[in-house]
């Protein structure tokens, strides 16, 4: 089988489709197809954890770009400052204007190198200005459709862009924002230099936040309704007990009244008093 060396063939969903012909369902996981797709780093970390009880404390980080004298793959402990790794790799700050966490397509610019390596830090890109020029300012969308042609997930990036700007969650979901793999291909081909993928990331964050907020408010509504039901059950039970006591007292009074009318009157008064006491305790 020939495997296309076309970006982003290495993406999980694309890889599965190319190799098996199966598509991961919208909003689903490869596991829904009975498939698990792991990168080698994750597979090694899982082996270390399961077979040797070794936690993930370090990982391989690719340091690359012409602003480094010694680019390469480095094993770094999680938490290592990126600036330390750059020093080890011979970083020349005069050659570089942007530090990128991740690859050239899916990575994001770092404000500072004083941040640590984390378990998802696969690559730090340290390009020269000639290697990766600073993108020009974004212009208005000219509706050329190039982004849709480039999208490997067959989405409509232009529409997603409008809906992301409008914060229209319903339309974003209808246009399958969740299926965007954030490959950056649409941003790359956009002649207006619109950072489309950044809009999608922000929109995904917004949707996630509002779903979390909905779950939180659903839970507090359920708690409130459960409490109301419990209070109603308790009130009903107390009323039933009160009625039973009153009936018993009246029965007793009726039985005793034939022999002693004074004792019957006292019993009736006592039942009435008990009943009044319950009501004031419940109020």
| Footprint on this chain of ligand SF4 (rule: CB under 6 A) | 141-147, 150-153, 155, 157-158, 161, 180-186, 189-192, 194, 196-197, 200
3-state secondary structure of 23: coil
| Minimum CB distance to ligand SF4 smaller for 35 or for 141 | 141
| Minimum CB distance to ligand SF4 smaller for 126 or for 183 | 183
**Cα separation of 247 and 224, whole Å?**
35
For the bound state, the minimum distance from the C-beta of residue 105 to ligand SF4, rounded and expressed in Å, comes to 9
Contact call for residues 78 and 116 (beta carbons, < 8 A): yes
For the bound state, the minimum distance from the C-beta of residue 41 to ligand SF4, rounded and expressed in Å, comes to 23
| Minimum CB distance to ligand SF4 smaller for 194 or for 267 | 194
**Cα separation of 81 and 112, whole Å?**
10
**Cα separation of 167 and 173, whole Å?**
11
Measure Cα distances from 51 to 44, 45, 58, 222 in Å: 10, 10, 17, 43
For the bound state, the minimum distance from the C-beta of residue 229 to ligand SF4, rounded and expressed in Å, comes to 46
For the bound state, the minimum distance from the C-beta of residue 106 to ligand SF4, rounded and expressed in Å, comes to 8
For the bound state, the minimum distance from the C-beta of residue 205 to ligand SF4, rounded and expressed in Å, comes to 15
Neighbours of 89 (CB within 10 A): 20
Residue with tokens 């954030």: 182
Whole-angstrom Cα Rg for the chain: 34
For the bound state, the minimum distance from the C-beta of residue 49 to ligand SF4, rounded and expressed in Å, comes to 31
**Cα separation of 138 and 199, whole Å?**
12
| Minimum CB distance to ligand SF4 smaller for 123 or for 151 | 151
For the bound state, the minimum distance from the C-beta of residue 86 to ligand SF4, rounded and expressed in Å, comes to 28
| Minimum CB distance to ligand SF4 smaller for 141 or for 207 | 141
Residue with tokens 């009323």: 239
| Minimum CB distance to ligand SF4 smaller for 17 or for 274 | 17
**Cα separation of 271 and 278, whole Å?**
11
**Cα separation of 61 and 101, whole Å?**
10
* Tokens linked to 184: 């950056």
| Minimum CB distance to ligand SF4 smaller for 27 or for 90 | 27
């Amino acid at each position: 089988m020939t495997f296309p060396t076309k970006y982003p063939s290495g993406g999980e969903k694309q890889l599965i489709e190319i190799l098996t012909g199966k598509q991961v369902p919208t909003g689903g996981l490869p596991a829904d197809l009975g498939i698990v797709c792991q990168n080698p780093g994750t597979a090694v970390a899982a082996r270390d954890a399961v077979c040797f009880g070794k936690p993930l404390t370090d990982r391989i980080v690719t340091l690359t770009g012409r602003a480094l004298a010694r680019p390469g793959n480095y094993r770094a402990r999680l938490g290592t400052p990126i600036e330390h790794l750059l020093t080890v790799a011979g970083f020349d700050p005069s050659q570089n204007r942007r530090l990128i966490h991740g690859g050239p397509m899916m990575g994001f610019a770092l404000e500072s190198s004083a941040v640590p390596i984390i378990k998802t830090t696969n690559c730090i890109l340290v390009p020269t200005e000639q290697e990766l020029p600073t993108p020009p300012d974004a212009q208005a969308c000219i509706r050329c459709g190039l982004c849709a042609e480039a999208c490997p997930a067959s989405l409509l990036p232009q529409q997603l862009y409008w809906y992301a700007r409008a914060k229209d969650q319903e339309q974003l979901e209808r246009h399958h924002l969740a299926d965007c793999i954030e490959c950056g291909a649409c941003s790359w081909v956009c002649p207006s230099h619109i950072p489309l993928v950044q809009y999608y990331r922000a929109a995904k964050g917004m949707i996630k936040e509002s779903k979390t907020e909905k779950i939180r408010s659903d839970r507090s509504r359920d708690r409130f309704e459960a409490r109301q039901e419990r209070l109603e059950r308790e009130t009903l039970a107390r009323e039933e007990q009160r009625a039973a006591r009153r009936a018993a007292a009246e029965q007793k009074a009726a039985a005793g009244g034939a022999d002693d009318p004074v004792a019957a009157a006292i019993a009736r008064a006592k039942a009435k008093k008990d009943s009044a006491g319950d009501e004031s305790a419940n109020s």
